[in-house]
Amino acid sequence: MPLSGTRDVTPILPQTAIMPGFDTEALMLEGVSILQVLYEIRQNAMLSLLPPALHPTIPPTIAFVVTDVPQSPFGPFTFAEARVGCRAGARPRGFVARCYVSTETAAEALRTRWGYPAHLADVRLKKGYDRISGTVSEAGKLVLSASLVNPEAISGGDIQYLPAVNLARVKRDGEAIPRIVQVDPDFRMHRADRGKPHLECFDAAAWLLDGADPWWPVSASCAVADMELPVLRYILDPFKPAIQGVERVH
């Protein structure tokens, strides 16, 4: 039998996005820079990080993703996610309990249109000849610092980003109903690098991921791409197995 998450997400629901519905249009973001640093986490917490709708990956992983958007209808912004590796049924995904965004205008759009649990913070992506780093500071406190060290050029076809599944609430019949929203962007790669992953700081509590302990570096990549945030297709009931709680919205 597959393992399923055991997390009761009820205590963190007040910190999630409230969506008016699922009728958002796709949005193309051109020339974004995406840093992803992937680590294994210790197995003792892998079930407690995920709701019952999701299955942990074996080995359990966490991906730190920092995306810099130079232009958008909401202005330039940078946002960061910590995605716990999982599966919804058989499909690989990355569970997002919280993300951080550099501007309130962009954070509001990500919350209401794609269900990101977005909070305002100082989010930065810095590129150097020997290191590409992503940092997040909330209220003056550093909560993430992750880097790709010694970048080497590779083909963009060598990179794969897992779709995010965001914990959110949607308005239905006067109530805010908890749902997990699948966001699977499309990418057109322009260039990419890989290098050694290095995690300098990760405050698990700030990301609502108490118990997550990144201990083994796996990979790091950085790409420049056109990214299309999608029309939403599937949502899940976080309290039910995916096969029972899945709902197609488009």
Cα–Cα distance, 83 to 99 (Å, whole number): 9
Single-letter code of the amino acid located at 24: T
SS3 109: helix
Q: Is residue 95 part of a domain?
A: yes
Question: Which domain range does residue 176 map to?
Answer: 10-248
Q: Would you give the DSSP letter of residue 16?
A: S
Write the pLDDT tens digit of every residue in 112-158: 999 999 999 999 999 999 999 999 999 999 999 999 999 999 998 89
Q: Is residue 5 part of a domain?
A: no
* Paired residues of 64 in beta bridges: 37, 82
Q: Is residue 192 part of a domain?
A: yes
Q: Is residue 183 part of a domain?
A: yes
Q: Is residue 4 part of a domain?
A: no
Q: Is residue 33 part of a domain?
A: yes
Q: Is residue 145 part of a domain?
A: yes
Structurally, the chain folds into a number of domains equal to 1
> Nearest 5°: phi and psi at 73?
-60, -15
Write the pLDDT tens digit of every residue in 7-39: 999 999 999 999 999 999 999 999 999 999 999
Q: Is residue 129 part of a domain?
A: yes
Asked if 96 and 50 count as a contact pair (C-beta separation under 8 A), the reply is no
> In sequence order, which ranges of the chain are alpha helices (DSSP H)?
104-114, 242-245
Cα–Cα distance, 89 to 191 (Å, whole number): 32
What is residue 243's predicted lDDT score, i.e. its pLDDT?
83
Write the pLDDT tens digit of every residue in 171-222: 988 899 999 999 999 999 999 999 999 999 999 999 999 999 999 999 999 9
Q: What CATH number should be reported for the domain holding residue 85?
A: 2.40.400.10
Cα–Cα distance, 66 to 172 (Å, whole number): 32
CA 32 to mean position of chain CA atoms: 15
